[in-house]
């Protein structure tokens, strides 16, 4: 098994392998180009993102600067994914992010890690575990997602959280380590902030635009 194979099979390997570094540098050069685009160069940014990522759906936007070990080469984005400034992707293996997910500033999604044994770390060994983030999630500012984590659809991760274990769908989770605080519920269909109610006209507008897709009273909270 080559070092390249080991990268994607949760095997120990030496990341400073010459062939790996040469390939990695090509993607980092392209990432440099993306981070040095001007704000008005939206078409150029779209083109570069399609070249950088393994997969990218329509309507995605990543605010520069973006930081990624492999320039996003092993990152798979669904449609309408938005990431704010300073997203860091330790993408030494595959990272999957579902449709309509929002990512706050200074979020870290790290699929790469190192063994505990100091002798192995000294010799440059690491291993990687893929990360899966569902559809319509929201990762708050400064959240850290660690290797091997799966986050279910519609789940919210609070700002500054450190996610060490899987999170189910349709929950609000926060803390270090991150834990589930509560499910997203019917209450959230009525109130968007403390005692602030969601105006019925918003539901009417959404249903007019989306063919009666949404219910203000019933149905799954993440519908």
pLDDT digits (tens, 9 = 90+) for 24-70: 999 999 999 999 999 999 999 999 999 999 999 999 999 999 999 99
The ranges of the chain with pLDDT < 70 are: 212, 216-223
Residue 114 a catalytic site member: yes
Q: Bridge partners of 126?
A: 13
Q: Are the beta carbons of 139 and 104 closer than 8 angstroms? A: yes
Per-residue pLDDT, 206: 86
Domains of the chain: 3-184 (2.160.10.10), 185-223 (no CATH)
Which of 8, 67, 114, 132 is catalytic? The answer is 114
pTM (2 decimals)? 0.94
């Amino acid at each position: 098994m080559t070092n390249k194979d080991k990268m994607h099979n949760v095997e120990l390997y030496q990341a400073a392998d010459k062939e790996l570094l040469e390939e990695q540098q090509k993607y980092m050069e392209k990432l440099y180009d993306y981070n040095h685009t001007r704000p008005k160069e939206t078409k150029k940014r779209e083109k570069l993102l399609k070249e950088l990522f393994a997969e990218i759906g329509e309507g995605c936007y990543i605010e520069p600067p973006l930081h990624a070990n492999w320039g996003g080469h092993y990152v798979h984005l669904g449609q309408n994914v938005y990431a704010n400034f300073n997203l860091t992707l330790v993408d030494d293996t595959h990272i999957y992010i579902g449709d309509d997910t929002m990512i706050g500033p200074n979020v870290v999604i790290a699929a790469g890690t190192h063994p505990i044994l100091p002798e192995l770390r000294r010799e440059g060994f690491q291993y990687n575990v893929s990360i899966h983030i569902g559809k319509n999630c929201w990762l708050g500012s400064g959240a850290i997602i660690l290797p091997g984590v799966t986050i279910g659809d519609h789940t919210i991760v609070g700002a500054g959280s450190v996610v060490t274990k899987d999170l189910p769908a349709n929950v609000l989770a926060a803390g270090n380590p991150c834990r589930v605080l509560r499910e997203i519920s019917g209450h959230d269909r009525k109130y968007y902030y403390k005692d602030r109610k969601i105006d019925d006209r918003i539901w009417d507008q959404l249903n007019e635009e989306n063919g009666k897709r949404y219910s203000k009273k019933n149905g799954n909270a993440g519908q």
